[in-house]
Amino acid sequence: MAKAKYTDRALMQKTIEVMNKSINEPRPDGKVPPKVGALLLFPDGRVETAFRGELRDGDHAEFTLLERKLANENLEDCVLFTTLEPCVERNPPKVPCCRRTTNARIKKVFVGIEDRDPTVDGKGIKHLEKNGVEVKMFDRDLQRVIEEENKAFLKQALKRKKETEEEDVRSPIENPIANYDRSKFSDKALQKFINESNLNYTINDESFLEYLADFGAMEWSQSKKRFVPTGYGILLFGVNPRAKFKNAVLKAHVTYGNNKIEPKDFSDALVLVPDQIEEWLKKVLPLSKDTSEFKRKDVPDFPINVLREAIVNALVHRDYEIEGAKCEIKIDNDKIIVTSPGKPLPAISLEQLNTFEAPSLSRNPIITYAFSLMDYVEEKGFGMKTFKTLNKDFGLPIPKYIFKEPFLILTFPRTTEGVKSVIDSKVIDSLSNEQLSYLEIFREHEFVTKAEFVDYSKMADRSAQRLLKDWVDDGLIESIGAGKSTKYKLKD
């Protein structure tokens, strides 16, 4: 019997279909149980599934699958898909699902979404990774489906998390700041947040302070009988965030030829920075003529919305606890570089970032939440679709992420020389501008067939075949498969 073939995405979708069969068992404590689906892919292509409550009320999907359905089978080479981060605590003699997974010697797990319940809250993923399991997250659009189906559960989980957090396990950014009060917030920043989030408050409403406390920007102090800003609150709304967090700044540098524009620091409250950046970019980027309308007008020669998106991502997802490390943007004739302190979180790979479809996983969920309300970012995701279409929409090269301790670096090439800076190959220097434009096809599409390459490049069939062969021989691209099913991809 031929081995069945599935894509990772197809299995994610099937796991969600299984999740939707979950049985909502009655609970006297009022807790909303999550909908959870689990799927196991065997090396021979066989697939087994389970959902929460399938065989007995309250039984977890992973337990049902691994222990009740497949207890006597060897699962060592299987891949597990689960819509919710596996649990880490169960009342004895029950075994947590993350431990059942590692006990089964499963080495690869696809997780739908994080479980924000304080008993889990990232610890399930950490347990798997600590025990040598490769963890991948579901595609972002599929995560949204899971979140929507589990809206009530996630709301309760976040509330429980807030109620059980203790200062001694939180970072300085999460903790309330002693001797700080409402006066440390910028009225301008608060008003901007209210306006752009469409909130029905005034900045001095007590109910507004309660709202800020609900999502972690403030905290009620029983001893002081007032709301106290947290570190996240100061970063988002503070009059002078750098007074408390010295690295809370975006440093900007521009150099064109021998002309160097005065460096600029952006160190206001985070909610004010995106608009400040946009105005600055309009001033420093060279202008070109836009003739798409009847009246010609001067426009920046690089799309402002793309750079704004890159910078907002850098500010939102950076690691604020790395001392001395700051966000930066550097612009020169050949490229634009955006750097952000902190390596990608373990469940997000550089490869995923460079497909510009990174899944939902945030280092700073409170900042991400505030920015999502203001429509600056997609909540907890990396909204980078504009990066992927740069070549098609603007004729510009595709950007690339690399990690160089301690910075995540995003480079936007603007010229041929700029492209050379993001492709690690000795062959790149010998390519013509036209060939470099053909190479962008492989940077925009992960896999390309010969027919697709001919279609995208508009080359003659034989010329395209010859170029593909030369690039494979030179180690610039690699071929996968054989015959008409052969696909080509940029070599890592």
**Tens of pLDDT, residues 103-162:** 899 999 999 988 877 666 677 888 888 888 999 989 888 988 998 898 888 888 777 766
Domain count, the chain: 4
Choose among 279, 235, 274: nearest CA to 375. 274
Choose among 239, 321, 307, 318: nearest CA to 278. 307
How far apart, in whole angstroms, are the C-alpha atoms of residue 468 and residue 453? 9
Determine the 3-state secondary structure of 478 from DSSP.
Answer: strand
How far apart, in whole angstroms, are the C-alpha atoms of residue 333 and residue 415? 8
| Cα-Cα-Cα-Cα dihedral sign, residues 166, 170, 173, 178 | positive
Residue linked to tokens 């909204």: 383
Confidence (pLDDT) at 438: 84
**Cβ(270)–Cβ(218) under 8 Å?**
no
In this structure, the answer to whether residues 97 and 32 fall within a common structural domain is yes
Choose among 480, 471, 482, 477: nearest CA to 443. 477
> What average pLDDT score do residues 63-78 get?
91
- CATH number at 72 reads 3.40.140.10
Residue 418 has pLDDT above 80, yes or no: no
- CATH number at 266 reads 3.30.565.60
Is-cis flag, bond preceding 43, omega within 30?
A: no
Asked if residue 231 is part of any domain, the answer here is yes
**Tens of pLDDT, residues 447-461:** 889 888 889 888 999
Confidence (pLDDT) at 294: 41
In this structure, the answer to whether residues 239 and 339 fall within a common structural domain is no
Q: Quote the pTM value.
A: 0.64
Q: Lowest-pLDDT range, 116-120, 177-181, 183-187, 210-214?
A: 116-120
Residue at which a domain ends, from 211, 243, 275: 243
Asked if residue 2 is part of any domain, the answer here is no
pLDDT confidence band for 214 (50 / 70 / 90)? confident
Confidence (pLDDT) at 296: 41
Is-cis flag, bond preceding 93, omega within 30?
A: yes
Q: Count the residues in the chain.
A: 492
Query: What is the separation of C-alpha 300 from the centre of its chain, rounded to a whole number of angstroms?
Result: 28
In this structure, the answer to whether residues 272 and 414 fall within a common structural domain is yes
How far apart, in whole angstroms, are the C-alpha atoms of residue 434 and residue 452? 17
Residue at which a domain ends, from 134, 161, 188: 161
> What average pLDDT score do residues 178-206 get?
94
Residue at which a domain ends, from 161, 178, 213: 161
Asked if residue 62 is part of any domain, the answer here is yes
In this structure, the answer to whether residues 85 and 137 fall within a common structural domain is yes
In this structure, the answer to whether residues 333 and 206 fall within a common structural domain is no
In this structure, the answer to whether residues 88 and 213 fall within a common structural domain is no
Give the Å distances, CA to CA, from 82 to 50, 59, 124, 135, 374: 10, 14, 12, 11, 31
In this structure, the answer to whether residues 57 and 177 fall within a common structural domain is no
**Tens of pLDDT, residues 326-363:** 999 999 888 999 999 998 887 788 877 887 776 667 78
How far apart, in whole angstroms, are the C-alpha atoms of residue 337 and residue 455? 32
Exposure class string for 243-268: b at 16+ Cβ within 10 A, else e: ebbebbbbebbbeeeeeeeeebebbb
Give the DSSP letter string of 280-336: HHHHHSPEEEE-SSSS-EEEESS-HHHHHHHHHHHHHHS-TTSTT--EEEEE-SSEE
In this structure, the answer to whether residues 341 and 359 fall within a common structural domain is yes
Considering the chain, what is the average pLDDT of its residues?
85
In this structure, the answer to whether residues 171 and 204 fall within a common structural domain is yes
In this structure, the answer to whether residues 36 and 57 fall within a common structural domain is yes
In this structure, the answer to whether residues 255 and 219 fall within a common structural domain is no
Q: Which range marks the domain in which residue 99 is found?
A: 8-161
Residue 381 has pLDDT above 50, yes or no: no
